[in-house]
Structure 1
């Protein structure tokens, strides 16, 4: 392409919009626009059941829906702080074998009495950075912030009826001071809530600090939509542990593998994960989480953070195998955002998780589901079923 063409304004027609963009007329105009520009007829995309007036705040330039198949896995017995009982898990995916594999793991966990789940903590962050002339000024500022925590908290919390500022981590680098604000956010994931609250706190700081101060609202250590080691250590979203003791005899009968072999395979996986620099030394947490997130209206991009995990196993003297996975940054919501849309709400309701008061329960269900998938795939690899199952259930090509 010549420089002249590269620098010229695009002559391509703009996507049509109307003052009220969520009407049948506005949507039909864009659907026709797609056909006029691409000659693609939207035979499937246009067939949705969502009331158009429910879409504001969730989507722009709406033209239709992406229909992802939803399968039902379970039952999964959970003995948690917040999730207790038998649950059926809706999973949205186009990967054959996934629902069947997770159901197998859920069957085993349920037969041994259930998976134990614990939410250790749950925070959402925004992390501004303040700029100074030298490192000493940055240190003095950090001391002032600690001394004025009550007023900073009041300024932040004045913007929200739900969010509460728990604590502020501080990191000094060069002549900068990074502040990582940690909030509890009720049943919302809370990224926008925390952004608004932190902006108000920074503005208060700027008005009241004795010297002129400059800040950038995000210094990048809040790590939106990307994994980071700081999340593994300090938690972003819910930090959840799912654990179970796998009886040697049951594992042999149902999954046709020995717990000692499973333990040995875990050591190999640990080495491989270390060698690769993986953020999860388990097998496929992202599979179960993504399927749950898509089904229930979560922000799918949060999988980048939520899939991080630490698997720990211990072979007991009697041959039983203790297996746990810690997910340090499960970012979920049961209220607000996409959770209120029709099918997404129904999927949350299947697990009795829609609405206020259910976020920690849903976080435990997510962790228990991941553990079921880990056990099933680990056994399939050892038993030689992995490739055969995909051949049998996962191939829909001619």
Structure 2
């Protein structure tokens, strides 16, 4: 009988206290024994591991990402109104500087108007029938019973509000897309519980359903999709500004006509490549803000899509607008309450309840600052030289 090798040893756990200092040290030692490396930076942290239950398993330490600040940025929002300094967590050289430059330019022209125009979080179950006609009749029944279905869903949460149900029929399948408002939480788990309860009532009260799945992949959770661009997932935010020609020339050394023309050329490139949005690099700022503030970073896959639009005014200035149709953010719950993440939200007065729409408006405004900065750099051919001077190739 052979002895088990070190590789067969399981990750150390403690069923009674898996976040205590002793078990953490054992896991760190296990990591070192398995990799031949050493725990040094990873094991240095200021947060209390006992507060991480529900956020992380097999805890051994932290990943430290540098945080820089940009701003202040003037925002005229319905919830975010004033000047905001923004934390950006990134290791990409020039990113903070680029966003800061965009903010400076926008401030000179009065700042950014930012608006949350829609709010929805989904779960999309599918019901399977023996034929298409029965699927069609089921959808009609769901419409007739929406009141009771809403009561069953909302009974699971004091926050979740079922606003409407979309239906999509294909083959012998009935796809239902439940749409909710989820308060200050991102809400994916919340709407999962609510939809499961509603579907339980449906299964008990409708005959002929041959199969059922709580998620059909039609909510496109953590996946970019055309339906979320059209129908909204999370917060739909539009940020817009009119930038004076003289300010563009002074700060960016570029004329509005150059940016507008490049935008039309890039539109052809977007069409040829088959992308589903026209933004330049909104994921840069959004990801940096997500990491800094404890958002679910995987949601960048949805939140990164942006629709950029520009036009020249009669005065020769540049109107620029960006819509983020699927911005999934939270100011309460999840990772938002952990040490540095909470501090970064508090820097913008965005931690806690009744803050999520404010935070969404700030994220939209920051994304616009990044778009005008990069658009100017590309149009004036400063893009590569800036990276050479300040970025990875310095």
TM-score, length of structure 2 as denominator length = 0.97
1 CA distance for matches of 2:292 and 2:34? 31
Say whether the 8 Å CA contact 2:109–2:243 is kept in structure 1.
Answer: yes
Q: In the alignment, which residue of structure 2 is the partner of 1:315?
A: 312
Segment of structure 1 superposing worse, 269-278 or 121-130? 269-278
Q: Which residue of 2 aligns with 1:81?
A: 78
Give, in whole Å, the separation in 2 of the partners of 1:368 and 1:313: 15
How far off is 1:396 after superposition? Answer: 6.7
2:43 corresponds to 1:46? yes
Change (3 A) 1:377 1:212: closer
Q: Hey, what does 2:198 align to over in structure 1? A: 201
Q: What pairs with 1:61-100 in structure 2 (closer than 5 Å)?
A: 61-100=58-97
Are 2:138 and 1:141 aligned? Answer: yes
Distance 1:260 1:133, change over 3 A: same
1:293 matched to 2:290? The reply is yes
Instruction: Return the match for 1:391 from 385, 388, 392.
Output: 388
Deviation string, structure 1 residues 144-187 (Cα, Å, up to 9, x no partner): 00000010011111111110000000000000000000000000
Check if 1:127 corresponds to 2:124. Answer: yes
* Alpha-carbon distance in 1 for matches of 2:75, 2:7: 57
Of 6, 12, 34 in structure 2, the residue corresponding to residue 16 of structure 1 is 12
Counterpart CA distance in 2 for 1:146 and 1:91 is: 45
- Compute the RMSD of aligned alpha carbons: 1.2
Once residues 45 and 346 of structure 1 are traced to their aligned partners in structure 2, the CA distance between those partners, rounded to angstroms, is 20
Q: Does 1:105 align with 2:86?
A: no
Tell me by how many angstroms 1:106 deviates.
0.4
| Structure 2 residue matching 1:75: 3-state secondary structure | strand
Q: Out of 221, 224, 236, which is 1:227 matched to?
A: 224
Deviates more, 1:388-397 or 1:117-126: 388-397
In structure 1, how many angstroms separate the alpha carbons of the residues matched to 2:296 and 2:102?
26
Deviations 1:212-240 (A, max 9, x none): 55311111110011011000000000000
Q: Deviations over 1:272-311 (max 9, x none)?
A: 1111112331210000000000000000000000010111
Q: Which whole-Å deviations, capped at 9, do the CAs of 1:303-349 have from their partners, x for residues lacking one?
A: 00001011111112221111101100000000000000010000000
SS at 1:366 equivalent: helix
> 1:280·1:307 contact (CA, 8 Å) conserved in 2?
no
The answer on whether the counterparts of 2:387 and 2:393 sit within 8 Å (CA) in structure 1 is no
- Separation in 1 of the partners of 2:251 and 2:33? 56
**Residue of structure 2 in register with 1:176 after alignment:** 173
1:56 and 2:49 aligned: no
Aligned partner of 2:247 in structure 1 is 250
How far apart, CA to CA, are the structure 1 residues paired with 2:143 and 2:68?
50
What CA distance in whole angstroms lies between the structure 1 residues aligned with 2:78 and 2:168?
33
Q: TM-score, normalised by structure 1?
A: 0.96
Aligned residues: 388
